[in-house]
Amino acid sequence: MPAPTSVDLTDVALFAAGRHHEAFRRLRAEAPVYRNPSADGSWFWALTRYEDVLAAYRDHDTFSSAHGAILGGSFRTGGDTASGDMLVASDPPRHRLLRRALHPPFGPAMVQRVTDQVRRLVRDGVERMRAAGGCDIALDFAPLLPIGALMALFGVEHDDARHIVGLTRRMVGYRDPVLSDLSGDERIRLAYAQSEIFEYFAELLEDRRDQPERDDAIGMLLRAELNGRPLDDEQILYNCMNIAVGGNETSSYTTCAGILALLEHPETWRRLRAEPGLLPSALEEILRWSSTNAYVQRVAVRDTRIRGVDIARGDVVTLWNVSANRDADQFPDPDRFDITRSPNRHLSFGSGIHRCIGAPAGTAELTEAFSALLDSGLEFRTAGDPVRLHSNFILGFTSLPVEIVA
Ligand code: HEM
């Protein structure tokens, strides 16, 4: 294990090998405000303690979201981003207006439709698993969550939803050898993957333009207003993209991580079967344990100081959920998977004004997936080594084979 000063948190191999928890343990102890040197010569600050990450989330006056949540993830070249038009990449007062405009697709009625659609798909998925004697959770089961969510949210057919999931999976996996052809410039690969998603939604918007009465996310965004004016096409498209990218890989990879955690802790799986009332707190622990959205990016808009370290205006600051969620000062015995953990104030959905607007939908999807598995009465074991995604932003799996044992 190298000294913290030589850790590079942009090194996806660290995450693909599952060695990141050890690196974060040392950073929290030895360099909680860490100046991370990246392979490309750039650098950024990394906050790894719970208290510091939470404080930065809440201090949106100092830490701006205008450059987006992902390091190097501008939507266009030259630093011109979706800033101010995409919810996740906006600051107040614009953020408040956008969040209000985007509220309808995330309200209780839509969450119920997502729940119903995901329930149908995961129950069928479990029956297919039963018939086949197993499956690859990462390929055959977990993607059913975002597929169901997209069908409900955008009113698209199964094949289209599957297509969008493929696009966002490739975008999030732009540094993964299984999901991406690694030749050529990384930034161009990411920009290309983003443009494919953008194009898909541009066509969908064209098809739907004369149906603003439709009761789905596009119809809702066509009817939404910002400062008394309808959203323009770019604003609608950026936010469709935010919904798809924000919701697809997060819920499906959290499912993979949760199933793997239960397979690695069979006594916990048995307990959950015996006491299904523990499911809500088990899901919170799965969210903490997986920390699927590993970090978010901010940029300091004024000079500040954290733990005696000077942060200058313009510095990039990353808030590491995956580390904060294992901070022993907040979570006693943090490396213990404990489905009864209480309190469990994990930061997996972020905090403050940008806290995940899709959290109720995401939690409903996870509830459906794990309820279907528990209700099936099936018992599983791993049928091969899980393969982790090569990403430092979204922590996931490209393969998680399981077989049924009973
Ligand atoms: C387990 C599932 C999920 C996880 C771990 C997750 C994680 C997060 C995190 C950490 C943020 C904060 C970003 C920031 O502060 O910069 C966020 C925001 C957001 N998420 Fe999620 N998310 C999940 C599910 C979803 C779903 C299902 C949707 C949509 C259907 C969604 C859409 C969004 C959007 C639109 C934002 C931006 C909110 C804002 O900036 O005000 N997420 N999510």
Reported as a single tens digit per residue, the pLDDT across 365-377 is 999 999 999 999 9
Question: Given this model, what pLDDT does residue 114 score?
Answer: 98
Ligand 1 neighbourhood includes 362 CB (under 6 angstroms):
yes
The edge-to-edge listing of strands for the beta sheet with 316-320 is: 33-37, 43-47, 316-320, 295-300, 63-64
241 CA distance to ligand 1 middle (Å): 12
Ligand 1 atom nearest the C-alpha of 95 is 41
Atom 21 of ligand 1: nearest residue by CA position: 356
Name beta bridge partners: 74: none
Query: Which ligand 1 atom is at minimum distance from the Cα of 102?
Result: 35
Ligand 1 pocket check for 115: Cβ under 6 Å: no
Please name each of the domains of the chain with its CATH number: 4-404 (1.10.630.10)
* Ligand 1 centroid – CA 359 distance (Å): 7
Residue written as tokens 């590491």?
A: 320
The closest alpha carbon to 241, from 200, 299, 191, belongs to 200
Question: In this predicted structure, what is the pLDDT of residue 215?
Answer: 93
pLDDT at 5: 62
Q: Is 172 touching ligand 1 by the criterion CB < 6 Å?
A: no
Residue 311 scores a pLDDT above 70: yes
Residue nearest to atom 37 of ligand 1 (CA): 88
* Region of poorest pLDDT, from 212-216, 255-259, 271-275, 379-383: 212-216
DSSP codes, 334-370: TTS--TT-SS----TT--GGGS-TTHHHHHHHHHHHH
Reduced to 3 states (helix: H, G, I; strand: E, B; else coil), residue 242 is helix
Quote the ligand 1 centre to 139 CA distance (angstroms): 22
The b-or-e profile of 333-342 (16+ CB within 10 A means b, else e) is ebeebbbebe
d(CA 263, CA 378): 12
Q: Please give the average per-residue pLDDT across 382-404, as a whole number.
A: 97
> Where does 91-178 show beta strands of DSSP type E?
134-136
Residues 151, 309: Cα–Cα separation, whole Å: 47
**Mean pLDDT, the chain, integer:** 94
Query: By alpha-carbon position, which residue is closest to atom 15 of ligand 1?
Result: 354
- Give dist(CA 316, CA 37) in Å, integer: 12
Q: Ligand 1 atom 6: the closest Cα is on which residue?
A: 349
Name the token pair of 207: 């098809």
| Nearest alpha carbon to residue 100 among 247, 202, 221, 244 | 221
Q: Kindly report the CA angle at 332 between 328 and 337, in degrees rounded to 5?
A: 105
Closest CA to 258 of 137, 130, 394: 137
* Structure confidence at residue 325 as a pLDDT band (50, 70, 90): very high
Contact 254, 290 (CB under 8 A): yes
Ligand 1 atom closest to the Cα of residue 98 is 41
* CA of residue 244 to ligand 1 center, whole Å: 10
Looking at residue 184, its pLDDT comes to: 84
Q: Which letter does DSSP use for residue 319 in this model?
A: E
What letter represents residue 348's amino acid?
S
Confidence class of residue 189 from pLDDT cuts 50, 70 and 90?
confident
User: Best mutation site among 250, 291, 347 for ligand 1, i.e. most ligand atoms within 8 A of its Cβ?
Assistant: 250
What tens digit of pLDDT does each residue of 89-114 get?
999 999 999 999 999 999 999 999 99
